[in-house]
């Protein structure tokens, strides 16, 4: 049950679950603060797939003025299980922007989730590089920059499917989880919350062995606007170039987001073949990977290159990973600050 805090005509409440009112509000929001401003489609699947969501609501009288959703998860850090809260859908209504309400109540907004928590936990989120307002709010609430999330575009004009490609079978999921836990044993907060969604985990199989794997999350955005001359070019000219339109249509931008990847050591080329095969199978031409810049996978992909044209548009698309550590053992906190964090592609679409 929500317990309101009344401050003038503003209330801040903590609730559990996603109501139809909140869903409608989030569907109306334009996202992005620097670069592309866009609307997310398929919002229902995103919202109702969030694990254990806690909602912090800012109300201006009877209207929603702002939201933040914290989903509680359990992550593995070198054998230690730890609860953590990932904050997403931090949004404000256009009718309060410029009135200083988020600045005034933002820290309360971000700390309310911690009020009743006494066990060790991490609170984390991702803030776009140009979103200075949200970053300031996070700082005032005690969040620190831990690392940066890098976006890697991967695209193919004419993707081809490898002969070794197939969809993973449900009876292989436990084996795949074990493979991935081993693959990401040098990462922090490893969790597979969104693995195997819609049965969209794919592998390359060679002589009876699974040699590569990846989860694909389909996404659809509608790009509303982009700044500057280059933005006008990207919005109004490039979509009319036939081949480029395969990769990018601002009014109907469909792409895949990958996570849970594994491949033979030193064989990033095999991972490329798998990712291209998934594009071909899904009749798609563009994909994104969202990775902690400290991850060995990020370095391997950048060093190998051959990512396709869309990479040129995502080179500067990075964000801050911010976190607050509460009731934390010093040794564990040091690990969390040092290791690359596992990232799930579902969170960023």
Residues 206-262 have pLDDT tens digits of 999 999 999 999 999 998 888 777 777 878 888 888 888 899 899 999 999 999 999
- Contact between 192 and 177 under an 8 Å Cβ cutoff? The reply is yes
Superfamily of domain 5-150+325-348: Gcn5-related N-acetyltransferase (GNAT) (3.40.630.30)
Choice between 132 and 290, residue whose per-residue pLDDT is larger: 290
Looking at residue 118, its pLDDT comes to 85
- Rg, the chain, Cα only: 21
What share of the chain in percent tops pLDDT 90?
Answer: 67
Per-residue model confidence as pLDDT tens digits over 265-311: 999 999 999 999 999 999 999 999 999 999 999 999 999 999 999 99
Residue with tokens 């991935």: 180
Mean pLDDT of 163-172: 98
Looking at residue 96, its pLDDT comes to 81
Looking at residue 34, its pLDDT comes to 66
Name the helix (H) or strand (E) containing 160.
none
Could you tell me the pLDDT band of residue 8, with boundaries at 50, 70 and 90?
low
CA–CA–CA angle 56, 19, 254 (5° rounding): 95
Mean pLDDT of 86-106: 82
Looking at residue 6, its pLDDT comes to 42
CA–CA–CA angle 38, 42, 47 (5° rounding): 100
Looking at residue 4, its pLDDT comes to 44
Choice between 243 and 76, residue whose per-residue pLDDT is larger: 76
Q: Is the pLDDT of residue 192 over 70?
A: yes
Looking at residue 229, its pLDDT comes to 76
- Contact between 80 and 52 under an 8 Å Cβ cutoff? The reply is no
Token pair listed for 292: 């902690």
Residue 194's nearest CA partner among 88, 316, 92 is 88
Give start-end residues of each CATH 3.40.630.30 domain in the chain.
5-150+325-348, 152-318
Token pair listed for 162: 């490898």
Q: Is the pLDDT of residue 14 over 80?
A: yes
Q: Is the pLDDT of residue 9 over 90?
A: no
Name the helix (H) or strand (E) containing 291.
strand 286-292
Mean pLDDT of 126-140: 89
- Helices then strands, each counted (H, E), the chain: 11, 14
Token pair listed for 289: 């990977």
Residues 48, 51: Cα–Cα separation, whole Å: 8
- Computed over every residue of the chain, the mean pLDDT equals 91
Could you tell me the pLDDT band of residue 3, with boundaries at 50, 70 and 90?
very low
Question: Under CATH, to which class is 152-318 assigned?
Answer: alpha beta
Helix residue ranges per DSSP H, the chain: 20-27, 43-48, 101-111, 132-140, 173-183, 228-236, 242-247, 268-281, 296-304, 311-314, 330-338
Q: Is the pLDDT of residue 62 over 50?
A: yes
Residues 203, 218: Cα–Cα separation, whole Å: 17
């Amino acid at each position: 049950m929500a317990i309101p805090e009344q401050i003038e005509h503003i209330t801040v409440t903590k609730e559990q679950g996603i109501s139809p009112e909140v869903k409608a509000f989030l569907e109306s929001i334009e996202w992005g603060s620097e670069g592309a401003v866009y609307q997310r489609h398929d919002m229902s699947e995103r919202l109702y797939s969030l694990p254990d969501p806690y909602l912090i609501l800012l109300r201006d009288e009877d209207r929603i003025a702002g939201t933040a959703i914290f989903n509680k998860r359990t992550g593995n850090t070198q054998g230690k299980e730890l609860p953590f809260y990932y904050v997403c859908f931090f949004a404000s209504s256009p009718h309060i922007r410029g009135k200083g309400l988020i600045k005034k109540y933002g820290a309360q907004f971000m700390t309310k989730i911690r009020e009743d928590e006494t066990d060790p936990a991490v609170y984390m989120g991702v803030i776009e590089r140009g979103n200075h307002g949200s970053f300031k709010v996070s700082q005032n609430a005690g969040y620190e920059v831990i690392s940066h999330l890098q976006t890697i575009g991967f695209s193919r004009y004419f993707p081809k499917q490898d002969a070794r490609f197939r969809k993973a079978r449900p009876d292989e999921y436990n084996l795949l989880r074990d493979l991935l836990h081993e693959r990401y044993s040098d990462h922090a907060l490893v969790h597979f919350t969104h693995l195997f969604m819609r049965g969209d985990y794919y592998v390359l199989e060679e002589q009876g062995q699974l040699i590569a794997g990846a989860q694909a999350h389909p996404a659809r955005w509608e790009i509303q606007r982009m700044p500057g001359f280059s933005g006008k070019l990207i919005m109004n000219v490039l979509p009319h170039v036939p081949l480029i339109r395969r990769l990018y249509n601002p009014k109907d931008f469909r792409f895949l987001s990958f996570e849970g990847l594994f491949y033979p050591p030193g064989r990033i080329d095999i991972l490329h073949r798998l990712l291209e095969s998934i594009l071909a199978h899904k009749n798609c031409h563009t994909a994104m990977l969202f990775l902690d810049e400290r991850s060995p996978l990020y370095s391997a992909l950048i060093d190998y290159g051959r990512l396709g044209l869309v990479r040129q548009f995502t080179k500067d698309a990075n964000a801050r990973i911010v976190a607050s550590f509460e009731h934390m053992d010093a040794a564990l906190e040091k690990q969390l600050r040092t290791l690359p964090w596992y990232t799930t592609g579902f969170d960023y679409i």
